[in-house]
Amino acid sequence: MLTIPVNQTDHILGPATAKVAVVEYGDFECPYCRQAYGAMKVVVNRYDGRIKFVFRHFPLTAWHPNAELAAEAAEAAGAQHKFWPMYDLLFEHQHNLKLDALRRYAAMLELDPARFDNDLNDHIYLQRVREHQDGGIKSQVRSMPAFFVNGELQDVTFGMEHLEAAIDRALRS
């Protein structure tokens, strides 16, 4: 069960009033999350206007040393209204998430470079990233990626069709 409901601090793709909320806990450096990224693009398009998609950070720093800073970069971009474009860049360039690359992505998005650098250097969004992780732990997240549909954890171990089936059920209810 999702312990932290979708709220105004979340980055939401789709209408905030949608009947179905899909929340993903993910890691920008995780190869399975990268696969889910592509699948979620299809899912969001398929259910256009009928679901809201929320991405929350769960960097597995023991295995992915650049994931936490990448999550901070996404939040710093979000502060400049570019969370989703940065989200795309981070997953599309998953094998290059070091600081210099993050700065290049910020420049590609025309973010204020001084503000972006200050946000990363001062770890302004580290607490937010860790709050997401804590929420995931409290919600029994055990592997990446982890998906919730209207608060219920969905097992996508053997494919995203299980997520789509859960969305379909939620839309019918």
Q: What is the pLDDT of residues 98-141, one digit of tens each?
A: 999 999 999 999 999 999 999 999 999 999 999 999 999 999 99
Mean pLDDT of the region 13-21: 95
pLDDT score, position 46: 95
- Look up the pTM and report it: 0.96
Q: What is the pLDDT of residues 155-166, one digit of tens each?
A: 888 888 999 999
pLDDT score, position 102: 98
Q: Where are the beta strands (DSSP E) in 10-169?
A: 12-13, 20-26, 51-57, 146-149, 152-154
pLDDT score, position 158: 80
pLDDT score, position 31: 96
Give the whole-number percent of the chain exceeding pLDDT 70: 100
pLDDT score, position 56: 98
Q: What is the pLDDT of residues 49-92, one digit of tens each?
A: 999 999 999 999 999 999 999 999 999 999 999 999 999 999 99
pLDDT score, position 9: 94
Nearby residues of 139 by Cβ (< 8 Å), 6 or more positions away: 1, 2, 3, 4, 25, 146, 148, 153
- 38 pLDDT band, cuts 50/70/90, is very high
Under the phi-then-psi rule, with left for phi > 0, alpha for psi from -120 to 50, and beta for the rest, what region is 53?
A: beta
In the chain the domains, ranked by start, together with CATH numbers, are 12-172 (3.40.30.10)
Nearby residues of 30 by Cβ (< 8 Å), 6 or more positions away: 60, 63, 64, 67, 144, 145
Q: Is the pLDDT of residue 2 over 90?
A: yes
